[in-house]
Amino acid sequence: MPNQKLKILFVCTVNRMRSATAEKIFEKDDRFEVKSAGTDKIANTVLSTELLNWADSVVVMEKIHRNYIHKKFKDIYRTKRITCLYIPDQYDFMQPELISILNLKVEQAYNEGLLNP
């Protein structure tokens, strides 16, 4: 029986550049089931209780996103693994540099066990 995929929710501000790129590049990774969301009300997919509950692990791009989850979803924040990649909002969707950084940082977090629930 194959191992169950790790459910990862990628979070940035408007879910158009960083988290959307992360979802796109990891959607074919056999280890993961991925979704993405943003903290802003104009985000393509707005972060919700349902999405946070779905995820085994939440990966945020900046500390402000972790702080937002702490403020708006206190109960979930206490029980959910949240990993920050520290990727600033300076990249375009699927920009090669962003893809490289995401691949490196997500792989590093995975290998260090930071994505395990």
pLDDT digits (tens, 9 = 90+) for 3-13: 689 999 999 99
Which two structure tokens, joined as six digits, stand for 50? Answer: 């349902």
What's the predicted TM-score (pTM) here? 0.95
Rounded CA gap, 17 and 108, in Å? 21
Give per-residue pLDDT as tens, 11-55: 999 999 999 999 999 999 999 999 999 999 999 999 999 999 999
What does each C-alpha distance from 69 to 28, 83, 100 come to in angstroms? 27, 12, 26
**CATH number assigned to the domain with residue range 6-111, chosen from the 4 options 3.50.50.60, 3.90.79.10, 3.10.129.10, 3.40.50.2300:** 3.40.50.2300
State yes or no: pLDDT of 1 exceeds 50: no
> Which pairing describes strands 32-38 and 6-12: parallel, antiparallel, or unpaired?
parallel
- Ordered by start, the domain boundaries in the chain are 6-111
Radius of gyration of the chain (CA): 13
